[in-house]
Amino acid sequence: MPYNGSGVYGLPAGSTIPNGTLSDAPTQHNAPLNDIAAALNEITGGTQEFIGPVQLQNGTAAAPALTFASDTNTGIHRVGADSLGIDTNGATRVTINTTALTSTLPVNVPVGAAATPSLNFTSTDGFWSPGAGIVALSLGGVEQLRWTTTGARGAIAPVPGSDSYRVINGDFRVNQSGVTSGAALAAASYPVSSVTGGRGPDGFYAIKYTTDTVTFGTPAGYRPNSVGYSLACTGPFNGSSTFAAFVFRIENAAIYSGQTITLFARMNGATAHDVSVSYRQHFGTGGSPSADVSGNVSKVAITTGWNPYKFTFTVPSVSGKTFGSNNNDYLEFAFWIAAGSNYTALTSGLGSGNRTVFFSDIHERLGDWPIETIDYYQSPDPQTELARCQRYFTVLDTPMKISAAAPQIGQTALPVTMRATPTLSNITFSSGTGATFSASKTSIIQTNLHSTAANVSSITASAEL
């Protein structure tokens, strides 16, 4: 054995000859020479490690100090004090010193994931690529920001009504029509031109078979510190003609045209079953608008308890479509709980059954976002969200009083400018009758043509899509 346990070489025992001693040269010297040869072979063969530093010449990029027999201009050399160079084809490509690592070439890394970014500062904070043409930033293992060919998009809640959050009242806190928890919403078919029949909280309405039940309810611990509500669809939804869904609309059928969006919702199923989402582009009325474009987004299996779900799809382009002249076009979404056989294609074969589902935190985001993004949903400012709802629907419960001396005219300002001239309904008189009403986008005008005073305690103005 040419080396001891510490890696130090020593001649075999009996190799040395005392002075003045005769020896048999072949016998005396062949063994140590063979041992030395074996030791050298272990070094060149890589089976024996060096026990001290290996010092090389500095080398250059063209002639690295550490190189390869078949590629002598590729290797490693000393650039300068405390500086190391990695060379290929006679040129330095990477330099490492005490302050930085510098590369003259592109650095290719794996695509990574939100929880394991490719370029990271800790194990979960850094950059990665969700797909072609996309770079994302993750913090704490959750995507916060992404860049695409169309710009930057932040995971933290955007401003309502910007390039995301165009769904109004997604946590159902605004309920001007006064739908009470547990109250069954009226029946309406699909598609509908008016939301009056199945009105729920502002911005949402129900479609259902006449014998099915759709209700408005309060939440059940689905999100800490939530001030919102939930919508409930309660079965049984049995039979080929049965159907039930919640529907909401985003003004302007051209919104998100040709773009990918992600629709988020928290859902709670009394039992495990499927829920389907469909879309419809309605190009308005007046003139000769194009026919509606509709289809299925996707179908997902939901479980018991509150859980997040996402639906990602590309909105069809409106290129070449003709819009109506009445400025009432929209993009519509429907969450289907049951579809029977009437809406099989629209719901990807959802079918029917005994089902109860609660919904909340419904909102959309431009782009394809991971499911974790829903945790950054923030209920919009209450005053701002009320104003967004009142653009389409408002209930005035401030008394309007017109004196008895006919004719008299009174005018009441609406809280916000409405989307269009509203339709007035549900007029309640506290005293007197017979007054007539007209409206503009900004006010309601009451005319009393009678000899007695007319006092109105409530009136509804609707400019809904």
**Domain ranges across the chain:** 66-103, 119-150, 204-388, 391-462
Q: Is there a cis peptide before residue 399, judged by omega within 30 degrees of 0?
A: no
Q: Is 397 left (phi over 0), alpha (psi -120 to 50) or beta?
A: alpha
**pLDDT tens by residue, the chain, 465 residues:** 566 767 666 666 666 666 656 555 555 566 666 666 666 667 666 677 777 777 889 999 999 998 998 999 999 999 999 999 999 999 999 999 998 888 888 888 888 887 788 888 877 888 888 888 888 888 777 777 777 776 666 655 554 445 567 888 888 888 888 777 777 777 777 777 666 557 777 888 877 776 777 777 765 544 444 546 777 777 777 777 788 888 899 999 999 999 999 999 988 888 888 999 999 999 999 999 999 999 999 999 998 888 899 999 999 999 999 999 999 999 999 999 888 888 888 999 998 888 888 888 898 888 888 787 777 677 778 888 899 999 999 988 765 666 655 566 777 889 999 999 999 988 877 666 667 788 999 998 877 655 566 677 788 899 988
The distance of Cα 233 from the centroid of its chain, to the nearest Å, equals 25
- Which residues are CB-contacts of 93 (< 8 A; sequence separation ≥ 6)? 86, 87, 103, 104, 105
Per CATH, is 204-388 categorized as 2.60.120.260?
yes
Q: What one-character DSSP code corresponds to residue 386?
A: H
